[in-house]
Amino acid sequence: MNIGIIGSGMIGGTAARLFAQRGHPVAISNRRGADSMAGLVSEIGQSARAVGIEEAAAFGAVILIAIPFLHYRTLPSAPLAGKIVVDAMNYYPQRDGEIDMGDLGSSELLARHLSGAKVVKAFNTIYFQTLAREGRADKPVEDRLALFVAGDSSEAKAVVAGLIEEIGFAPIDTGSLHAGGLLQQPGSSVYNRPMTATEARAALAGTR
C-alpha cells in the first residue's frame, strides 16, 4: 500500500521507517523541502522518497499527518478528498496558540478542513521512541502495546488498525472522531502512557 507522510519529524519519520520495513512504499514530505529529508530517505532505503506535500498527498492511499497543529489549515484538501488521513497531531496551546474549538476536538477541525477525507485519529498518544522500539509483531495482539484509533468510518479505521498490527502494536478503538478523539487528547488517561491492549481497555472503561 502506498503511504504518504506529511511531516518528517519524530513521529512522521519513525512511522515512515516502520511502514517501509513492512514493505510499504512511502513518500515523505515536510515544509522545508525534499533536500532536508535526504538523510532520512537514505537511511530508510529504496522504499522511501522525498517529495513535496501535494505529491505526498496524491501518492498515498493512506496519508499520515504529523505536523504542528497550528499549520493544519495549510494542508491541501483537494488531493486528500476520499483518502484515509491519519491524524497524528496534537493541539498544544503553548505551542500552537489559542484556537477556539468550541466543543470540538482537534481532529474534527482537521476533518472540516479536509472535506471528503476519512480522518482517523491515531499515532498521537505514543512517544516516538516507544513507537520506534517497542513494536512486537511476534507477540499476541493482547500482549502488545496499544495504539489508539478513533474515527467515523469503520472501513478507514480497519485499514489503519491493520497497519498498526503490521508494525507490532495493538489497535484499540476509542470510538467516533468526536468522543474517541477527545479520549486521545493530551492530558487524557491514555496519553503518552505505554500500556498493553488489556490495560488500555481497562483504562478506557474507567473514562466511560
* pLDDT in the model for residue 12: 97
* pLDDT in the model for residue 31: 92
CB 8 within 8 A of CB 35: no
Task: Tell me the C-alpha distance between 18 and 13, whole Å.
Answer: 9
* pLDDT in the model for residue 102: 87
Q: In what order do the strands lie in the sheet with 146-151?
A: 48-50, 26-29, 3-6, 62-65, 84-87, 118-121, 146-151, 170-175
Q: What is the DSSP letter of 188?
A: S
Per-residue pLDDT of the chain (208 residues; tens, 9 = 90+): 999 999 999 999 999 999 999 999 999 999 998 899 999 999 999 999 999 999 999 999 999 999 999 999 999 999 999 999 999 999 999 999 999 888 999 999 999 999 999 999 999 999 999 999 999 999 999 999 999 999 999 999 999 999 999 999 999 999 999 999 999 999 998 999 999 999 999 989 876 5
What is the chain's percent helix, strand, coil content, to nearest 5?
40, 20, 40
Q: What is the DSSP letter of 141?
A: G
pTM tops 0.85, yes or no = yes
* pLDDT in the model for residue 208: 59
